Amino acid sequence: MNFKLIMVLILIAFVILFVIQNVAVVEIQFLFWSIEMSRSLMIFALLITGVIVGWLLHSYSGYRKRKTAASLERARESEEE
């Protein structure tokens, strides 16, 4: 069997076990609102939120590095003239 397929099947099994073991309902309160949801759904939502925030911050830092490199290149070119 393919190694990647085996790893994906093992990962899916762990996810299923995680969801089965974390079905308890928890209440989340923030400022003026509260919501009740299963613990596994809350952890999944926090994971997705973290991935999106991390991706956005990484993209922004890459943009800043490219912008800084471009401005340094322009400064170097103006010094040479």
The residue with greater pLDDT, 81 or 78, is 78
Q: Which pLDDT score is estimated for 63?
A: 76
- Sequence length of the chain is 81
Distance CA 41, CA 37 (A): 7
Helix, coil or strand: residue 26: strand
Q: Is 0.75 topped by the overall pTM?
A: no
Q: Which pLDDT score is estimated for 47?
A: 87
Encoded amino acid at 8, one letter: V
Place of tokens 């899916």: 12
Residues of the chain above pLDDT 70, percent:
89
Ranking 9-13, 21-25, 43-47, 69-73 by mean pLDDT, the lowest is 69-73
Q: Which pLDDT score is estimated for 20?
A: 86
Enumerate the β-bridge partners of residue 29.
34
pLDDT digits (tens, 9 = 90+) for 18-56: 888 888 888 888 888 898 988 888 888 888 999 999 999
